[in-house]
């Protein structure tokens, strides 16, 4: 089933949680909603589920306007971050809940049991149907929650930070496993995450959100390789930002030309966004930007080097092969071999800004209902 | 040293070793306090009534007037506790779930029956429910039911004094209930009624039972408010605590303690059963 949200707006206490957002999830697609906390991703998911009513805008399920549909009739499989299992019910009864709640076409008890056993098999929890949720680990609980959502044969599966409460290892396993299940069952699936790695690894398409708006909606490759906005660039992966000047169709740093396409940017100040792999050390004596090494640290097979360059001593991080010895205070030359130039006035995702806006974050968290949980 | 080791092991075999000290001190304090405040007075009561001798005790226990008063006391207390359980849960629900002007005032008002001298409550209720009072006249005129100065009046008084117990035990548990489980229930197709009965109520059951037990216990012991609203006629609206007072006024101390002992035994048995029910519901619904 195709899910289409059109021009959704939602305000909490005067703040726009969703600002004219439109999103389409194709039938059978697996889409990630990615963004920092307070970006409105959970609100959008809950609005699509029918757990929140939008101030304006409409959600369509296969061209059917859902605004008059009761949540019970929508056929939404919803999975919460903290599982929301029925604590007083055994695993069996948790999963069977949706089938037993049916008024029309309620299967016979034997049929329900058979279906539950099938689902337990699918989520690899066979033999645990007699346990209470408190007797299960976090990963097992989330799998029960998913089986419970799948039991009603949902037309769309919505997951709100499904792996957020689990430790890193379990999270990785479940991620792969969710991908498997999606391939086997083919449900239209939309999940919310603030973990970029999770979004890029799992989803067919990633929708990056910030401040109640969609910044970019594209495949994981496109999101990483051609970020539409500085926000997307800086939110995904690691990045350094240095101010440059654009003039005559070229970008320059302290009069030194940087070999990058600046597109149709107008002349004037601009920002150069670089990933660690967009900068290479000059080893052949060719031209480059001189810099002073401030720190180095070892990351896997590479050495992450931070240098200061230019008159204003802007910091750039890049990766150098580990076998090349680099010491602090060493002078070296680097060459820009990638990266993107964005015009002035566009805003990136800056971690320093987060601290400054801690209070507004708090308000956002409140608006998104995080604190009430 | 070597002799002390097995000794130590034996000493700790029935309790878990803890790095945080305090078990001996707190258990000692608990026992001393409970003995002083509860156990010794109750034991004195039992001993005093034992001085009667079995036949005399049995004669009191089967005295029709006393049996009738015990029936009224326990029957009215159970009825009042049942009513309080239903409406107390609703009050707690409204206070927890909805935000409306005056909610804090309403919340505070729930405690009034705790704070008010029960005689004041009794007089107020008697004024309202007396045959010539506003409520009493209405009920008698429209439904032909007499409340004031009857056994029904006893129930009304016990409902009044017992309400806060249910509200205050259910309220915090209701506050802890996860909204998400209700939302999940709705997405799975369950209507509101099914969500309330299958998802919310099982979690509330232990708290509801506690509230019922407290409200019931309060009702059994209530004296002040009841004697004003009931006309205290033997076999009709005479409660057991009043009978105890009457016996005391007749200087029949043994008789008074005998009734008290019977009440004590019945109350203890009922509270014990409620506790068992609670333990059972916890186990059945997988709490802990």
Residues A252 and A219 in one domain: no
- State which fold the B75-238 domain adopts: MetI-like fold (1.10.3720)
Residue of A nearest to B190 (CA): A101
Tell whether A150 and A244 lie within a shared domain.
Answer: no
A316 and A193 housed in the same domain: no
A224 & A267 share domain:
no
Which of B179, B184, B190 is closest, CB to CB, to A78?
B184
The tokens describing B123, both together, are: 């007089």
CB A94 within 8 A of CB A144: yes
Backbone φ and ψ of A299, nearest 5°? -125, 105
A85 touching chain B per CB within 8 A = yes
B183 touching A (Cβ < 8 Å): yes
Same domain, A215 and A304: no
Which whole number is the average pLDDT over A270-299? 88
Number of folded domains in chain A?
2
B198 touches chain A (CB under 8 A): yes
What CATH code is carried by the domain that includes residue A154? 3.40.50.300
Q: Tell me which residue has tokens 């008063």.
A: B69
pLDDT at residue A21 in the model: 94
Kindly report the CATH number assigned to the domain that includes residue A248: 2.40.50.140
User: Do A55 and A198 belong to one domain?
Assistant: yes
Same domain, A41 and A145: yes
Q: What is the pLDDT of chain A when averaged over all its residues? A: 87
- Partner B contacted by A72 (CB < 8 A): yes
Hey, which residues does A242 pair with through a beta bridge? A272
> Count of CB contacts below 8 A, A vs B?
79
Contact A101 B188 (CB under 8 A): yes
The answer as to whether A307 is a domain residue is yes
Q: Which residue has the higher pLDDT, B21 or A10?
A: A10
Q: For chain B, what is the mean pLDDT?
A: 87
pLDDT level of residue A356 (50, 70, 90 thresholds):
very low
Closest CA to A152 of A104, A96, A114: A96
Average pLDDT over residues B99-103: 92
In B, minimum Cα distance to A372 occurs at: B179
Predicted pLDDT of residue A238: 86
Closest-approach residue (CA) in chain A for B199: A86
> With an 8 Å Cβ cutoff, are B191 and A148 in contact?
no
3-class SS shares of chain B: helix, strand, coil, % to 5: 75, 0, 25
Judging contacts by C-beta atoms under 8 Å, the chain A residues touching residue B198 are: 86, 97
Domain-located, residue A370: no
Q: What is the pLDDT of residue B16?
A: 64
CA dist list (Å): A80 to A193, A223, A367, B67, B268: 12, 26, 18, 57, 45
For B191, the closest chain A residue by CA position comes to A72
pLDDT at A96: 95
Q: Examine the fold and report which residue of A205, A229, A253 is the final residue of a domain before the chain moves on.
A: A229
Could A78 and B287 be called an inter-chain contact, meaning their C-beta atoms sit closer than 8 Å? no
> Token pair of B99, please?
């935000």
A133 interface with B at CB cutoff 8 Å: yes
Q: Kindly report the pTM of this predicted structure.
A: 0.78
Task: Please report the pLDDT score of residue A16 as a whole number.
Answer: 86
If you measure CA to CA, which chain B residue comes closest to A146?
Answer: B184
> Residues with Cβ < 8 Å from B180, sequence gap 6 or more?
A80, A82, A84, A373
Q: Are residues A332 and A322 in the same domain?
A: yes
Q: By the CB < 8 Å criterion, does B287 face chain A?
A: yes
Chain B contact for A73 (CB, 8 A cutoff): yes
Expressed as residue numbers, the domain containing A102 is 3-229
Provide ipTM, 2 decimals.
Answer: 0.81
- Per-residue pLDDT, B9: 47
For residue A168, is it within any domain?
Answer: yes
Mean of pLDDT values over B264-281: 88
CA B262/CA A252 separation, integer angstroms: 98
| A293 and A236 within one domain | yes
The bridge status of strand A76-79 relative to strand A156-160 is: parallel
A144 and A254: one domain?
no
**Shared-domain flag, residues A62 and A108:** yes
Task: For residue A224, give the nearest of A214, A215, A233, A212 by alpha carbon.
Answer: A233
**Do A218 and A255 fall within a single domain?**
no
Break chain B into its structural domains and give their ranges: 75-238
Q: Does B176 touch chain A (CB under 8 A)?
A: no
Read off the tokens for B251.
């200087």
Q: Look at residue A293 in the predicted model and tell me its pLDDT.
A: 92
């Amino acid at each position: 089933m195709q899910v289409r949200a059109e021009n959704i707006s939602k305000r909490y206490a005067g703040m726009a949680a969703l600002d004219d957002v439109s999103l389409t999830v194709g039938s059978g697609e697996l889409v990630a909603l990615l963004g920092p906390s307070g970006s409105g991703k959970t609100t959008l998911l809950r609005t699509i589920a029918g757990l929140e009513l939008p101030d304006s805008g409409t959600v369509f399920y296969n061209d059917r306007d859902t605004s008059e549909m009761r949540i019970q009739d929508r056929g939404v499989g919803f999975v919460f971050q903290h599982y929301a299992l029925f604590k007083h019910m055994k695993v069996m009864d948790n999963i069977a809940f949706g089938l037993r709640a049916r008024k029309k076409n309620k299967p016979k008890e034997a049929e329900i049991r058979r279906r539950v056993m099938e689902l337990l098999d699918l989520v690899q929890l066979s033999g645990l149907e007699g346990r209470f949720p408190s007797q299960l680990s976090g990963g097992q609980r989330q799998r029960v929650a998913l089986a419970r959502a799948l039991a009603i044969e949902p037309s769309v599966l919505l997951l709100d930070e499904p792996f957020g409460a689990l430790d890193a290892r379990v999270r990785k396993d479940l991620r792969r496993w969710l991908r498997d299940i999606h391939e086997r069952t083919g449900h239209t699936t939309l999940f919310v995450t603030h973990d970029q790695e999770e979004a890029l690894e799992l989803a067919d398409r990633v929708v990056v959100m910030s401040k109640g708006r969609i910044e970019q909606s594209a495949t994981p490759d496109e999101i990483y390789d051609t970020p539409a906005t500085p926000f997307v660039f800086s939110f995904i992966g690691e990045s350094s930002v240095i101010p440059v000047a654009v003039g005559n169709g070229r970008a320059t740093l302290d009069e030194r030309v940087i070999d990058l396409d600046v597109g149709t940017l107008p002349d004037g100040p601009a920002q150069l966004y670089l990933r660690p792999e967009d900068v290479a050390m000059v080893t052949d004596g060719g031209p480059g930007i001189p810099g002073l090494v401030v720190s180095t640290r070892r990351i896997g097979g590479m050495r992450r080097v931070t240098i200061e360059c230019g008159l204003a001593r802007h910091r750039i991080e890049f990766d150098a092969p580990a076998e090349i010895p680099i010491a602090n205070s060493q002078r070296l030359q680097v060459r820009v071999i990638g990266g993107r130039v964005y015009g002035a006035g566009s805003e990136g995702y800056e971690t320093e800004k987060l601290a400054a806006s801690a209070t507004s974050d708090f308000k956002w968290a409140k608006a998104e209902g995080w604190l009430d949980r | 040293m070597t002799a002390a080791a097995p000794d130590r092991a034996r000493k700790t075999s029935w309790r878990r070793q803890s790095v945080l000290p305090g078990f001996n001190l707190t258990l000692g304090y608990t026992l001393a306090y409970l003995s002083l405040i509860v156990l010794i007075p109750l034991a004195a009561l039992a001993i005093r009534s034992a001085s009667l001798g079995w036949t005399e005790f049995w004669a009191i226990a089967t005295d029709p007037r006393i049996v009738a008063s015990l029936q009224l006391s326990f029957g009215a207390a159970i009825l009042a506790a049942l009513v309080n359980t239903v409406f107390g849960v609703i009050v707690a629900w409204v206070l927890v779930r909805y935000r409306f002007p005056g909610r804090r005032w309403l919340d505070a008002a729930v405690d009034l029956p705790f704070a008010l001298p029960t005689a004041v409550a009794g007089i107020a209720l008697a004024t309202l429910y007396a045959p010539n009072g506003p409520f009493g006249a209405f009920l008698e005129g429209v439904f032909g039911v007499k409340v004031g100065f009857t056994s029904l009046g006893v129930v009304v008084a016990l409902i009044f004094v017992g309400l806060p117990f249910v509200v205050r035990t259910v309220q915090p548990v209701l506050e802890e209930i996860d909204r998400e489980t209700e939302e999940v229930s709705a997405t799975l197709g369950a209507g509101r009624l099914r969500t309330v009965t299958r998802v919310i109520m099982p979690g509330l059951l232990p708290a509801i039972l506690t509230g019922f037990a407290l409200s019931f216990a309060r009702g059994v012991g209530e004296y002040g408010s009841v004697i004003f609203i009931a006309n205290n006629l033997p076999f009709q609206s005479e409660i057991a605590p009043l009978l105890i007072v009457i016996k005391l006024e007749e200087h029949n101390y043994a008789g008074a303690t005998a009734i008290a002992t019977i009440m004590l035994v019945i109350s203890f048995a009922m509270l014990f059963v409620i506790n068992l029910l609670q333990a059972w519901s916890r186990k059945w619904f997988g709490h802990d």
